[in-house]
Amino acid sequence: MYLKAAEYIKSRLPAGRIPKICLILGSGLGVLANNIEEAVQIEYSDIPNFPQTTVEGHAGRLVYGNLKEKPVIAMQGRFHYYEGKKLEEVVFPVRVMKAIGVEILIITNAAGGINMQFKPGDIMLITDHINFSGVNPLRGNNLDELGPRFPDMTYAYDPELMDKAMQAAEKLEISLKRGVYAMMQGPSFETPAEIRMLRIIGADAVGMSTVPEVITAVHAKIRVLGISCITNMAAGILKQPLTHQEVMDTANQARGKFIRLLEAVIAAL
Ligand code: HPA
């Protein structure tokens, strides 16, 4: 299934310029793909077996090209479990990327801040995660050609890539927080009680994505760098209701800083 998709994508890329870096762009960050030079756009609907975006107005395309003189491939539009997609579909693109030859996955998202030191607009390096979604993309027959039945998750977030991100942030004088990302299934936001629980078990931020793709990437020996935009304080902290609008507004405000950081990291890879 994923091999056929990969073959098609490879046939659309310039020979000898296989991207080693894949970017999955979260809410409000899709515009980073506009900075990609000599872009080749590949609509999801043209790729055999590729899942389709269900949310109207959301882009659904791969953008290949150069970012900081490095060949990259970005997913503009990602899939969420809460959309009703099978987890297999949510992580399908990661397997396609592996088959293309991608070695590094840079994955971004919008997340609610649980750590009281954070504030909306902060950027957080994901140092580890808690899979609180109740599901795992590796359930079922193991794809032995990709990785082992019981993959180690000790270094899910690549220490060397984390160092590079910290160094890039320091150079740019961007304050880069660090923390543990917890995934909830959504689509309802969490209750204040759930946020207190997540804080007790060691989460610094919460969101509804990323963890399935990271597990799939680690299984297939793709190195992962995860970065969250803290778009809001999680439920119950500021005593005000959460809205998707707030999430999008903060992501839009923070995105200049976010993009500068990502570009600096890519330049350093
Ligand atoms: N909870 C879950 N997902 C989110 C949040 C949140 O507070 N903010 C952005 N994505």
Instruction: Give the per-residue pLDDT at 45.
Output: 93
Regarding the beta carbon of 229 and ligand 1, being less than 6 Å apart is answered: no
Of residues 244 and 115, which shows the higher confidence score?
Answer: 115
What are the φ/ψ torsions at residue 18 (nearest 5 degrees)?
A: -70, 130
Ligand 1 atom nearest residue 113's Cα: 7
Instruction: Give the per-residue pLDDT at 207.
Output: 97
Instruction: Give the per-residue pLDDT at 159.
Output: 98
Instruction: Give the per-residue pLDDT at 53.
Output: 81
Instruction: Give the per-residue pLDDT at 57.
Output: 55
Lowest mean pLDDT among 14-18, 105-109, 113-117, 173-177: 14-18
Based on the number of CB atoms within 10 Å of its own CB, is 152 exposed (0-12), middle (13-18) or buried (19 or more)? exposed
Regarding the beta carbon of 110 and ligand 1, being less than 6 Å apart is answered: yes
**pLDDT tens-digit profile of 163-182?**
999 999 999 999 999 999 99
Q: What is the mean pLDDT of the chain?
A: 94
User: Could you tell me what percent of the chain has a pLDDT over 70?
Assistant: 99
Whole-angstrom Cα distance, residue 215 to residue 218?
Answer: 5
To test the pocket of ligand 1, the residue of 204, 206, 227 to mutate (highest count of ligand atoms within 8 Å of its CB) is 206
Residues annotated as catalytic are 27, 58, 80, 82-83, 110, 208-209, 232, 244
pLDDT at 48 over 60: yes
Residue nearest to atom 3 of ligand 1 (CA): 207
pTM score: 0.96
**pLDDT tens-digit profile of 215-224?**
999 999 999 9
Ligand 1 center to residue 149 CA distance, Å? 31
Regarding the beta carbon of 237 and ligand 1, being less than 6 Å apart is answered: no
Residue nearest to atom 5 of ligand 1 (CA): 112
> Which option is the CATH number for 2-268: 1.10.390.10, 3.30.2130.10, 3.40.50.1580, 1.10.10.60?
3.40.50.1580
Instruction: Give the per-residue pLDDT at 29.
Output: 81
Ligand 1 atom nearest residue 184's Cα: 2
Ligand 1 center to residue 138 CA distance, Å? 24
Regarding the beta carbon of 114 and ligand 1, being less than 6 Å apart is answered: no
Instruction: Give the per-residue pLDDT at 178.
Output: 98
Regarding the beta carbon of 234 and ligand 1, being less than 6 Å apart is answered: yes
